[in-house]
Amino acid sequence: MSDKSLNNELIKYENIGFSFENRKILSGFNLTIKKNQKILLRGKSGTGKTTLLKILLGFTKPSEGTIYFRNRVIDSKTCWEARKEIAYIVQDTDLGEGKVKSLLDEIFSYRANKEKLDHEKLRAFIRELELEDDILEKNFQELSGGEKQRIGILIALLLNRNIYLLDEVTSALDAKLKKKIADYFLSREDWTLLIVSHDREWERDGMETINIETSS
């Protein structure tokens, strides 16, 4: 394999297996994701799609197999390096209680995120995501499911990463917004995306779609 090919390999799942409560969910899963590639994972609930995302970030350990990020094995130490480069957006964003503005200020007060809260970009993303002008003054826990999802997306965009793990991030949105957000992410040729979604708006010609089936 050439050095150029290796440099383009961002993520590699090698013979990944995962078991939960004596039930094998994943077995022998292999996938290589190259820089700027967009991959859609499909499958019924419980087949391990979200688990694959969590394994990459070190939140969950595989029962067998190895995962690599930039040709380094992911373990308890190297997972932190991966987290600095990857934005993970979940289906049910939960930032806690308090005004959205206060929660954002807290997130961007962390050392790794300092100086990334660009207020001009924040206002632009609020408009782009079709959120209300006063959304920052609202209590996060009182927002709708769709508003919470869009706040999760907004935070990830402000972090300004190039690798995104998107886990059912448009499930609570209407068809128009689903398409708008999918179009936005998929139009970025410089982004690498690993998408878990049942929404048809993410399906595109030429995109690699992987159907995951339960191992049992």
Instruction: Check whether 5 has a pLDDT greater than 80.
Output: no
Q: What is the pLDDT of residue 4?
A: 52
Q: What is the pLDDT of residue 97?
A: 93
Instruction: Check whether 1 has a pLDDT greater than 60.
Output: no
* Domain 3-211, architecture per CATH: 3-Layer(aba) Sandwich (3.40)
Share of the chain above pLDDT 90, in %: 83
Q: What is the pLDDT of residue 12?
A: 98
Rounded CA-CA distance 75/36 in Å is 24
Give the pairing type, strands 64-69 and 72-73: antiparallel
Q: Which of 2-11, 35-44, 140-149 has the lowest mean pLDDT?
A: 2-11
In this prediction, residues 182-197 reach a mean pLDDT of 97
* pTM, to two decimals: 0.92
Q: What is the pLDDT of residue 115?
A: 73
Rounded CA-CA distance 40/136 in Å is 32
171 versus 111: the higher-pLDDT residue is: 171
Concatenated DSSP letters of 49-115: HHHHHHHHTTSS--SEEEEEETTEE--TTHHHHHHHHEEEE-SS----SSBHHHHHHHHTTSGGGTT
Instruction: Check whether 2 has a pLDDT greater than 80.
Output: no
